[in-house]
Amino acid sequence: MRGKAGFLGGRLLVGGLRRGGGKPMFSTVASGLAVSAGVFAASNALGFGITATTRTHKVADLLSAGPFALSAVATYAVGPGTTAGLVATGLTGLYCIRLTSFLFKRVLKLGKDTRFDGFIPEKGEKMTAAKLMRLGGLWTIMASWGFVVTLPVTIINSTAAATASPLFWVCICGQA
């Protein structure tokens, strides 16, 4: 059975399945949280794999800010699609473009991001199990940090009730 938040036919099925015609299996907020967690887990796993293989700092900067925008867009797509969600998603996207372009420009100029020294082995250094674990820990922390930081946008995008407060637009102005 198809619920209002779920859809079939090549698109995500989130929160729409019902047990015996009763309550949805997942609330829209839980669905948004699951989508956001999935975005951060997948993008950071990809980043870990690329970084462990190529030992480049460039992908770390690109994939550290990019998932914020991707999470905002994904949670907006599966949510109720409110104007407030669109504004929050747009502002998040603009900030991510600014941050990613700054970080990537800096790493191109310097050749590496010194914040990742000790985590990403230098060219010629042997990749040991300890270094691989340390690199995996870095990407896990980055994924967790991103998920927590995007919680406000995820909640705004996941429920129409989040925009009912008169203070909502004050919060949006603060984000800008």
CA 78 to mean position of chain CA atoms: 14
Q: Compute the mean pLDDT over every residue in the chain, rounded to the nearest whole number.
A: 78
Q: Residue 37 burial (CB < 10 Å; 0-12/13-18/19+)?
A: middle
Residue 161 identity? A
The reported pTM is 0.74
CA-based max dimension of the chain: 60
- Give the pair of three-digit tokens for residue 70: 């991707």
- Residue 165 has φ and ψ, to the nearest 5°, of -70, 140
Residue 59 identity? V
pLDDT digits (tens, 9 = 90+) for 22-31: 444 356 778 8
pLDDT digits (tens, 9 = 90+) for 59-102: 777 777 889 999 999 999 998 888 888 988 999 999 999 988 88
Beta-carbon contacts of 4 under 8 Å, excluding residues fewer than 6 positions away, are 16
Place of tokens 């796993």: 45
- Residue 24 has φ and ψ, to the nearest 5°, of -60, 150
Q: Which residue ranges make up each domain of the chain?
A: 28-175
- Give the pair of three-digit tokens for residue 171: 């919060």
For residues 68 and 95, give the distance between their C-alpha atoms in angstroms, rounded to a whole number.
9
Regarding predicted confidence, which is higher, 113 or 174?
113
Q: Is the separation of the CB atoms in 143 and 40 below 8 Å?
A: yes
DSSP 39: H
Q: Is the separation of the CB atoms in 59 and 100 below 8 Å?
A: no
